[in-house]
Structure 1
Amino acid sequence: MTAFMRIAFTALACLMIAVTSAMSADAHPRKEAETEISYNENANRVEIIHRYRIHDSESTLHRVHGDTSLSIMTDPRAQALFGEYVESRFSISHNGQALPLELVGGEIEDGFVWIYQTTPEMPADGLYVMRSNELMDVHQDQTNIVHVRLHGLNETLIFTRSTPWATFRLDGSDTY
């Protein structure tokens, strides 16, 4: 094999790897959702903003409700069911008492379902326990990433099927 043929063969192999990698990334995106928790001074409330991929949300609704006709894109009933689903699988407690999370609403934008919740101000002292297992009952490889930005704390918590709960403090103290 000539040097030119080896170079051409190597270039072709690299191109094939790049193309198949890109195709597989599009076909099977990672199962991730993100949530941000921050204080809104204007509303004097803590805002909880969840972001889920539409496809993952719909497949979860189909499985949980046994109805493949549910469409988050077009059906207000499906949208409400998904909001209720999120409410049932995301929670925060402070010193053993559940925080009152209020579902404010949701919207569809750029391929994502956004769910909005609020709660009264969260004190800086005490121990918090958070559960975030949305979509995990359907998608085994689901990862939920929660960013907590309160009282000067900027912490990211990662939730998976094996770790659907996390403890944290807002005063910077260790949780253990």
Structure 2
Amino acid sequence: MMFVLAAATALYSPATLAHQQKLALSKVVVNPRTDMLEIMHRFELHDAEHAVKEIFKSDADIIQSLETQAQFAQYVYARFGIYKANGEALDLVEVGFEIEGKHFWVYQETPLPDSLEGLQVVHNALRDIWFAQSNTVNIEIGDKIKTLSFTDNTEVLSVNFTQ
């Protein structure tokens, strides 16, 4: 009985719950060979494990189930968008997803616009289930790197490349 109590205490201790980072990092880069904007979203696998149980069902398994992985990727695709400075949406293509080590990756791409003065970005993945979720987007265009941080109630952030 003591072992069960000790195990239960360990499972729900603050140190155990602290594994959730509630951080995601996305990178938007130009591939000069293909003239595409490539988008790579990196989620902590531990966060994704907890998220799929809240978003889909309590027995969802992002590690073992390809179906759950695909569902999570669709969830991310639906909550991320890039727009030209004038508000015109860029048509994002779903490229795929994978587990790599302690991370779950989701990939998208879109043709590079003819003129790129700036971008508007929306990144709400996991922010609809955890207020503390922080999504950072690094945008690399040429030699310029711009960072956007989605926290609290932030819905849309913009970058300008002409300055």
Q: If the length of structure 1 is used for normalisation, what is the TM-score?
A: 0.77
* CA spacing shift, 1:54–1:165, aligned 2, 3 Å: same
Describe the SS at the equivalent of 1:98.
coil
**Residue of structure 1 in register with 2:63 after alignment:** 73
Describe the SS at the equivalent of 2:91.
coil
Q: Retained in 2: the 8 A contact 1:151–1:170?
A: no
**CA-to-partner distance for each residue in 1:56-77, whole Å, 9 max, x for gaps?**
1122222122x12111111111
**Residue of structure 2 in register with 1:137 after alignment:** 128
Q: In the TM superposition, what is the alpha-carbon distance from 1:24 to its structure 2 partner? A: 4.4
Structure of greater Rg: 1
**Residue of structure 1 in register with 2:109 after alignment:** 118
- What's the RMSD between the two structures over aligned residues? 1.9
Q: In the TM superposition, what is the alpha-carbon distance from 1:40 to its structure 2 partner? A: 1.0
Gaps of 5+ in 2: 1-13
**Residue of structure 1 in register with 2:155 after alignment:** 164
* Mapped pair 1:83 → 2:73: yes
* Mapped partners of 1:165, 1:25: distance in 2: 33
Going by fraction, where is helix more abundant, 1 or 2? 1
Q: Retained in 2: the 8 A contact 1:124–1:170?
A: no
Q: In the TM superposition, what is the alpha-carbon distance from 1:54 to its structure 2 partner? A: 1.3
Gaps of 5+ in 1: 1-22
Describe the SS at the equivalent of 2:39.
strand
**Residue of structure 2 in register with 1:30 after alignment:** 21
Describe the SS at the equivalent of 1:84.
helix
**CA-to-partner distance for each residue in 1:69-127, whole Å, 9 max, x for gaps?**
11111111101101100011100111121111111001101111001110111345444
Q: Retained in 1: the 8 A contact 2:21–2:47?
A: no
* Structure 1 residue runs of 4 or more that deviate by more than 2 Å after TM superposition: 23-30, 122-128
Letter in 2 for 1:117: Q
Describe the SS at the equivalent of 1:33.
strand
* Mapped partners of 2:144, 2:98: distance in 1: 28
